[in-house]
Structure formats: C-alpha cells, structure tokens
Amino acid sequence: MKVQKIVSLDVETAELASRMTNFSAFVRTCLRAEAVGADIASEMALRSRWARTAHTLAELAYGYALFRSKELGIEMKYESWQELEYEVFNQTTLEDFE
C-alpha cells in the first residue's frame, strides 16, 4: 500500500527533483539505505545489479517459453521478452500477474 508523504524542497532541490524520472523511488531508496546504515551509492549499485539480473532472467524465461510454445503449438502472449519484463515489473499483486 502506498502512503502519501509530502517532502519540502528548496528551489535548488526542486530543480534537481524535476529532472528525475521517479523522484519517489529515489527517496524510497535513500530511506532504505539509511535504515540499514548503507550509503546511497552502494544501495544504487545493488539495485542496478538486481535490475540486470532481472533482465537476464526475463530473457531466459521468454526464450524458454518461446521454445516450448513452438514445440506445443501454443501462441505466445508476449511478442518480446521486454513485454514480459514490463508486465512483471508493473504487477502490484500476484493476482495481477496471473
């Protein structure tokens, strides 16, 4: 569940925030890093590594599904591994993914 929280910025930080594609995600990442005593650069590096791993997994899963669908004569729901990855990353509940 998402909770609305207001952050006060000055002119300089408001300008910086306006250049970000997802300011809220950045704030959440910083808060999580702070909570475990990690620096933000380490937290961002871990998230980047996770994202690359997720991309690789999506490619492999799609490749396997494509192979099996051809073998079984079943039409694929997704036209590319990026479509599959997009749906997975944007699901909010398990039921949304099913």
Give pLDDT tens digits along the chain (98 positions).
678 888 999 999 999 999 999 998 889 888 888 898 888 888 888 888 988 888 888 888 888 888 888 888 888 788 888 887 787 777 666 565 55
Angle separating helix axes 23-35 and 40-72, nearest 10 degrees: 120
**Backbone phi and psi for residue 25, each to the nearest 5 degrees, phi listed first:** -65, -40
Continuous segment of H or E residues that includes residue 83: helix 81-90
Nearest CA to 22 out of 44, 52, 42 is that of: 44
3-state secondary structure of 76: coil
Vertex 60 angle, CA 55 and 66, to 5°? 125
The letter for the amino acid at 1 is: M
